[in-house]
Structure 1
Amino acid sequence: MFYRDAGELKTSYPADAALFPRALDRWIAIGTVALAATALPLTAGTYWLGSILLPFLILSLAAIGLNITTGYAGQLSLGTAGFMAVGAYATVNLVARVPMLPFPIAFLLAGVTAGLVGMIFGLLSLRIRGLYVAVATLAAQFFIEWTCTHIPWLSLNAASGIVSTPILEFAGIQLRNVESRYLVALATVVALALAAKNLIRSSVGRAWMAVRDHEPAAALTGVDTAYAKLSAFAVGAAYCGISGALWSFLYLGNIEAEAFSLHRSFQILFMIIIGGLGSILGSFLGAAFIVLLPVAITNGAALLGGTIRPDMTANLELMTFGALIIAFLILEPRGLARLAVRAKERLRRWPLPY
């Protein structure tokens, strides 16, 4: 009864094309962000902030980057973790070698660096399509991993290859506690998610979707397919690079190539498949599902009066991921985001059955 279009009058084109056309949607989004920025740091414990919410936010940003490249532009990428590694290693070198550089600028430059690397590997998509693009990005994953482990300069000549990240400082405030690190991650993810949403609604985003739906038809209608593909790889890799910097500096506290292995690339790919391809909301839903699944398995076993070994938990995760991916591809290819849209449409028609 309360979720209706009645009274939502639009008197201009900008109002009709707003990011949240319905006032209720807009206030729900504002309220959610406000709640996450004020109430959660005060009420959630260290475990929830540092082990659940922080990785959820960072992985959501990486999923948005992959969704731009794969979900919106249709270029299947398996090198997400490699681009995250580029962002992480670029940030630690910028922070260590240019100490006066503020960390937000270092994160931004790391994203630009990852975007350039992504665009270089995206050049291959101009000559090949489909699964061949996936193989090319898989090669990028292995190449970046090898580079990070065999060039000591990138790891600040650390003998072990593992670099401890320095404590970030901005405007005289050091990010020592988990609350401050969570707020930095939240602000970064919200800002970049809004930027991605607006970019997708622009002419660039429409070109991405045109190439995804039918590349020859897009070319015949005047879309610069080469620019669309390269920009999708660049923007998607830039988002992954910033998420890699956040992952190392705010979550892990160190940088090592093992943290950005092929397993991480597949994990983020699972997020957008389960959450929903071509959906910013799906990136958040998929990340929430992936992060909360191990917690649900462990707590479910505890409620049943038993315990599960860590290796068994990992195997159950993989089995569940595989079963859910098959189920979603068969029953609902658009993932959890499509189920959320259906729920909203039913809420608009409630109490009518159709």
Structure 2
Amino acid sequence: MRIGDAKETYVADEAIWTSPTQTFWFALLMAVLLVFPFLANSYLLYLGCLVGIAVISTTGLNILTGFTGLISLGQAGFMGVGAYTVAVMSTHTALPFPLVLVLAGLAAAAVGILVGLPSLRVKGLYLAIATLAASVFLHFIFAEWESVTGGMEGMSFAPAHMFGFTFRSDFAMYFIILSVAVLALFAARNLFRTRVGRAFIAIRDRDISAEILGISLLKYKLMSFALSSFYAGVAGGLFAYFYRVVTPESFPLSMSIFYLAAVIVGGMGNLLGGVLGAAFMTLVPEALKLLTSALTPFFPNAPVFMSPMLEIIFGALIVGFLIFEPHGLAEIWRRVRRFFHLWPFRN
């Protein structure tokens, strides 16, 4: 640590922005994000919405896996609970979408608490398998409980509405998704300034020592599962509002792997890493589609060859980052910042 990095008070050490420069760049980023939909075409606006939804869900999984050390492969199932809650509430009630989103998050959190019960006894691979089993079970419910979920045909419903306004277009949904994503990130950032967030980190670093110090493992593990699932439920609800149709195939197992990959690639235990990982992993499939389109005129069999590449690339990214950069994209960004902070006086 450099002398200039030392903080004189606890408040200064816990400040979200530690300098006017950081405040300026954050304000500039927010201005860019607000102007973006006015300049972007429909395709870029679509991608922006997908990235925002991915950021919310990845942040939730990062709370559980990155900060609490509990591996989960059930994120897709929790998102499905939130999405179907939105679909059912939108079909049978006239509640405004903010309240419906909160109910979707609470429904997913309740399921997350049930799924998290085995976390006191098992951890690591065994916990991952338990959450995977829960995701499969939830997928079975989505497909077979036809009277509520519509079965394999799914459910379609009206767009989000509030105070007489209806949000039909991607343009309108972008601002909703952006607002929820920013609020979710601020809530997560402040969470780790509290006793609860520090208890999560203590459990991740050494759970036995944390219990000796008086931290209830069951209480805080279930709380972490609930918070993570709440984020997933809200993300699933926004996913449902964005597409206005929900089917069991909207939330496959590969989606859970996608979000776990986003946490690993971005950097576990780092909120910025979750944002970078979500954006990176969302844009990788789109980049592959563009590459396939560019190669097709020269290689007609390019779509057949490239179709299975997405799973291979996801696996390669996870293994590659675990081996060569375990701290993920967040660490790469930190190095870039450090380089320019010292430039041109760098040796």
TM-score by length of 2: 0.93
Q: Assess if the C-alpha contact under 8 Å between 2:152 and 2:247 holds in 1.
A: no
Offset, 1:53:
0.8
Q: Find the aligned partners of 2:10 and 2:69 in 1 and give their Cα distance.
A: 29
| Aligned amino acid, residue 341 of structure 1 | R
Q: Assess if the C-alpha contact under 8 Å between 2:258 and 2:314 holds in 1.
A: no
Q: Assess if the C-alpha contact under 8 Å between 2:292 and 2:303 holds in 1.
A: no
Q: Assess if the C-alpha contact under 8 Å between 2:263 and 2:273 holds in 1.
A: yes
Say what the alpha-carbon RMSD is for the aligned residues. Answer: 2.1
47, 60, 63: which is aligned to 1:65? 60
Pairing 1:146-157 to 2, within 5 Å after superposition: 146-155=140-149
Offset, 1:347:
2.2
After superposition, what is the alpha-carbon deviation per residue over 1:33-63, rounded to whole angstroms, capped at 9, x for unaligned? 22211x111100111102x111111011111
Q: Find the aligned partners of 1:267 and 1:127 in 2 and give their Cα distance.
A: 26
In structure 2, the residue matched to 1:40 is 36
Q: Find the aligned partners of 2:52 and 2:247 in 1 and give their Cα distance.
A: 20
Pairing 1:3-152 to 2, within 5 Å after superposition: 13-37=10-34, 39-50=35-46, 52-99=47-94, 101-152=95-146
| Aligned amino acid, residue 256 of structure 1 | T
After superposition, what is the alpha-carbon deviation per residue over 1:139-192, rounded to whole angstroms, capped at 9, x for unaligned? 11011111111112322xx47531113111112211122110111111111111
Structure 2, unmatched stretches of 5+, are: none
Offset, 1:303:
5.6
Bigger shift: residues 65-74 or 323-332: 323-332
| Aligned amino acid, residue 228 of structure 2 | G
Offset, 1:135:
1.1
> Identity of aligned pairs, percent?
35
Pairing 1:160-239 to 2, within 5 Å after superposition: 161-239=153-231
Q: Find the aligned partners of 2:103 and 2:62 in 1 and give their Cα distance.
A: 21
Change (3 A) 1:314 1:209: farther
Q: Assess if the C-alpha contact under 8 Å between 2:200 and 2:220 holds in 1.
A: yes
Offset, 1:326:
1.7
Offset, 1:306:
3.7
Change (3 A) 1:56 1:314: farther
Q: Find the aligned partners of 1:43 and 1:306 in 2 and give their Cα distance.
A: 33
1:283 is aligned to 2:274? yes
Q: Find the aligned partners of 1:160 and 1:208 in 2 and give their Cα distance.
A: 38
Aligned residue pair count: 344
Offset, 1:301:
5.2
Q: Find the aligned partners of 1:77 and 1:309 in 2 and give their Cα distance.
A: 34
After superposition, what is the alpha-carbon deviation per residue over 1:245-269, rounded to whole angstroms, capped at 9, x for unaligned? 111111x220011111101111111
Q: Find the aligned partners of 2:263 and 2:152 in 1 and give their Cα distance.
A: 34
Q: Assess if the C-alpha contact under 8 Å between 1:73 and 1:208 holds in 2.
A: yes
Change (3 A) 1:309 1:175: farther
Q: Assess if the C-alpha contact under 8 Å between 2:104 and 2:233 holds in 1.
A: yes
Q: Assess if the C-alpha contact under 8 Å between 1:65 and 1:235 holds in 2.
A: yes
In structure 2, the residue matched to 1:340 is 333
Q: Assess if the C-alpha contact under 8 Å between 2:81 and 2:104 holds in 1.
A: yes
Q: For 1:169, what is the secondary structure of its paired residue?
A: strand
240, 244, 254: which is aligned to 2:245? 254
| Aligned amino acid, residue 228 of structure 1 | Y
Offset, 1:342:
1.6
Q: Assess if the C-alpha contact under 8 Å between 1:294 and 1:313 holds in 2.
A: no
Bigger shift: residues 79-88 or 270-279: 270-279
Offset, 1:15:
3.9
Q: Assess if the C-alpha contact under 8 Å between 2:72 and 2:128 holds in 1.
A: yes
Q: Assess if the C-alpha contact under 8 Å between 1:77 and 1:138 holds in 2.
A: yes
Q: Find the aligned partners of 2:106 and 2:212 in 1 and give their Cα distance.
A: 31
TM-score by length of 1: 0.91
In structure 2, the residue matched to 1:244 is 236
